[in-house]
Amino acid sequence: DNNAKAMALAEAWCGAAVGVSDFAAISVGTGVGGGIVSGGRLLDGHHGNAGHFGHIVVEPDGRACLCGGKGCVEAYCSGRAIGEERGRPPQRAPQGVVERTGILIGRALASLGAICDLNMAVVGGSVVLGFGEPFFVALQTELDQRARLSFLREFTVVPAALGQLAPLVGAAALVRRRLGSG
């Protein structure tokens, strides 16, 4: 499976989403991935790629993405994209890039929340956890401005409680899932 889906299972099992039956988990590191939990179950999709968040279009006619499309979240927010744009690691990104990353992820989450009837997202990964509070403030502000449907008004975003360990704990959660224990 992938790290973002593993993160979703980990955060549901023993992290920020314990007891939450419907949420998205977003991982922003080298790439941008996601997992969706609906009715307490991780969605897989036909090819196992449900929740592949990085390819939601946030800037029509925007930057070329490695997927062949244009304007995807990943083309702006991934560690790879930020590094190529700035010529330095994302950990050294200026405030404007940190805030833009939050805005674009908030924009995409508003759409995902409307499509999947979600009111929570757990966001982690090395890039955004390193950005800290300014990223999360920009994300929540954008989400609040765009998620205007009545069922989205309480949509909140929380940092991954398991931090950088979320994918590793998620690997254990995937094993539990396959064995029918979780």
- Asked whether 146 and 113 are in contact (CB, 8 A), the reply is no
Contact call for residues 151 and 117 (beta carbons, < 8 A): yes
Distance set, CA 62 to CA 58, 59, 73 (Å): 8, 5, 10
Q: Indicate the SS3 state at residue 155.
A: coil
Residue scoring higher pLDDT (15 or 178)? 15
- Helix then strand count (H, E) for the chain reads 7, 5
d(CA 143, CA 153): 9
Would the pTM count as exceeding 0.75? yes
List pLDDT tens digits, range 49-106: 899 999 999 999 999 999 999 999 999 999 999 999 999 999 999 999 999 999 999 9
To which H or E segment does residue 28 belong? strand 23-28
